[in-house]
A and B are shown apart, each in its own frame.
Chain A
C-alpha cells in the first residue's frame, strides 16, 4: 500500500495491476460464455426454424416437452450470459487502453472485431431480456433484429476464438492461481479463483431468480421471473382477448367454425364440436419467451376434423384466428403434427371451458411447438392441397 501511483486519465493498459486482469480468468470466463452463446444460438435457430421452416426443416412431435426445454434453455443461458459477459469484460477492460491504440492493420481489424463482438453480444442480451419482459423501447421489430444480430455475434465469437487460440490454449492449461509468472505488482486484489467463484455465484443467482418461469419447482424462488406461472385456469396468458380485439367475435352465439379442404367445406357450431369424440391430452404451452406451463386439454382431434372434410393425412393444416390483425393471426400445422393423436382443437382446459383469454371458443394445442403457433380463437381450419 506504500506505492502511491499516479492516476492517469485516461489510464494505460499497464496501470491495471489487479490479479483479475489475467488471461487465465479471461479464457475461463470466455469458454463459459462461448458455451452459453452456442446453446443460445442453436436453440434460437431451432425456434426460428419451427416458426419459419425452410423446406428441409422438420420438427418432431415427440418428446412433447422438447421445445419447452430448448426454448427454456435459450432464455436461461441468455440470462446466465449477463454476469459472465460483465465479468469477462472486467478482466479484459485494460485492453481498451492499449497503447498505441492501433499497432498495425491486423491489430486494427482485431480491435474492430472485438467492438462488433461486444456490441452484438450486448444487443442480443439486452433485447432478449427486455423482450421477455414485454418492454419494447425501440422502433425495430424484435424477432428479425435479434435473429440477424445473433449471426453477427456468433461470427465475431468465432473470429475472436481464432485470433486468441494460442492464448486460450496456454491459459486454460495453467492453474488459475499459480503466481510464479506474475509480473511484479500484479498481486493486487482478490485471488483469481475467488473471482471465478464470484462470477459463478452471479450466474447461479440470476438463473435461480428467473428460471421458475419454466421450471415449476423454482417458481417460489424466482423472484424476478416475468411470470409466476399462474393465470386464468392456472395457466399464464401471452395475448389476452382484449389485446387481440376478439371479445365480441369470440363470444358471439352465431360463431361457426369453418373447416375447409380442397374437396368440401363444413360449418360447425360450438355444440357440433362438443358432440364430436373428445380427446384429452396433457401438453405444455411453451412460449418463445421461455416460460411454460403444463395443462390438461380436452377437445376434438385435428385428425378427425381433417377427415370430416375428406382431407389427406399428408396435408399441412392452416389455422386462422378471429384475431383480425397481427402477425400471429394464423399458423400452419405441418402434416406430421396434424395427424398426431395429441394435436387437438381444444375446447376445455384443466376441466373447464376455455377462458376467453385462452382462446374460447376453441384453440389449437399440439405437442412440442411454440405457444405463438398454438393459434387461439380459431375461426377457420384449412386443409391445404
Chain B
C-alpha cells in the first residue's frame, strides 16, 4: 500500500510537470499512439508469427527461429531511428556517420545465419538421439 501511494505521488508529480512545462496535447499522441500501434498491429503480428512458427516449422527449427525473430525485431526497432538518417546534418559529418542500411542488413544476416547453424546442429542432434534410442 505504501509502495502504491509513493507511485501515485510520483505519477501526480510527473503529470504536474507535464502540465507546467509542456503542452499535454502535444505529448498525448506520443504516449497513446505507440500503445495503440503496438496493441493493434505489432503484437498480433509478432504473436501470429510465433504461433505460425510453432505450427509449420519442424521442432528442431523452432527454438532458433524464435530467438532469430526476437533479435531481428529488437535490432529493427532500434535501427528505425537511424536507418533513414533523418537527423543527419550537412554541417556535421560526425553525426550519423555510418551506413546504417548496410549495418542493419549485416545484423539481420548474421542472426539468420546463426539461426540456420543452430537449426542444423539441433537437427543432427535429434537425428542421432533418434537413432540411438
A134 in the interface (beta carbon within 8 A)? yes
Chain A nearest CB: distance from B107 CB in Å? Answer: 6
**CB pair A223 B104 closer than 8 Å:** yes
B22 in the interface (beta carbon within 8 A)? yes
CB 8 Å contact bits of B31-64 with A (1 = contact, 0 = none)? 1101100110011001100110011000000110
B8 in the interface (beta carbon within 8 A)? yes
Contacting A123 at CB < 8 Å: which of B8, B34, B75? B34
Closest-by-CB residue of B relative to A225 is: B98
Contacting B86 at CB < 8 Å: which of A126, A133, A145? A133
Chain B residue contacts of A86, Cβ below 8 A: 38, 42, 46, 73-74, 77
Stretch at the interface among A202-210, A264-272, A325-333: A202-210
Stretch at the interface among A114-122, A170-178, A313-321, A372-380: A114-122
**CB pair A236 B27 closer than 8 Å:** no
Chain B nearest CB: distance from A151 CB in Å? Answer: 3
A218 in the interface (beta carbon within 8 A)? no
Chain A interface secondary structure, helix, strand, loop or mixed? helix
Chain B nearest CB: distance from A74 CB in Å? Answer: 15
Chain A nearest CB: distance from B46 CB in Å? Answer: 6
| A226-B74 CB under 8 A given contacts A1-B55, A115-B35, A119-B32 | no
Chain A residue contacts of B18, Cβ below 8 A: 145, 148-149, 152
Give complex CA distance A285, B79 in Å.
Answer: 25
A13 in the interface (beta carbon within 8 A)? no
**CB pair B70 A199 closer than 8 Å:** yes
Give complex CA distance A118, B97 in Å.
Answer: 33
Chain B residue contacts of A87, Cβ below 8 A: 70
Stretch at the interface among A237-245, A301-309, A344-352, A361-369: A237-245
Contacting B82 at CB < 8 Å: which of A148, A155, A195, A224? A224
Task: Give the interface residue-count category, chain B.
Answer: 35 or more
Closest-by-CB residue of A relative to B46 is: A90
| A123-B31 CB under 8 A given contacts A139-B26, A150-B14, A224-B79 | yes
**CB pair B50 A20 closer than 8 Å:** yes
**CB pair B70 A202 closer than 8 Å:** yes
Chain B residue contacts of A129, Cβ below 8 A: 78, 81
Chain B residue contacts of A324, Cβ below 8 A: none
Contacting A224 at CB < 8 Å: which of B6, B34, B104? B104
| A198-B71 CB under 8 A given contacts A115-B35, A119-B35, A227-B97 | yes
Would you list 17 pairs from A and B whose C-beta atoms are within 8 A, ordered by A residue?
A: A120-B14, A123-B34, A129-B78, A132-B81, A133-B96, A151-B11, A151-B14, A154-B7, A159-B7, A162-B7, A190-B54, A201-B71, A205-B75, A223-B98, A224-B79, A231-B94, A239-B92
Known: A133-B82, A224-B107. 19 other contacts (CB 8 A): A82-B77, A83-B77, A86-B42, A90-B46, A115-B35, A123-B30, A130-B81, A134-B89, A139-B23, A145-B22, A155-B7, A159-B8, A197-B67, A201-B67, A223-B106, A230-B94, A232-B94, A235-B94, A238-B92
Chain B contacts to A: CB under 8 angstroms = 1, 3-4, 6-15, 17-18, 21-23, 26-27, 30-32, 34-35, 38-39, 42-43, 46-47, 50-51, 54-55, 62-63, 66-67, 69-71, 73-75, 77-79, 81-82, 86-89, 91-98, 100, 102-104, 106-107, 111
- A-B CB proximity, top 4 nearest: A223-B103, A151-B14, A134-B87, A155-B10
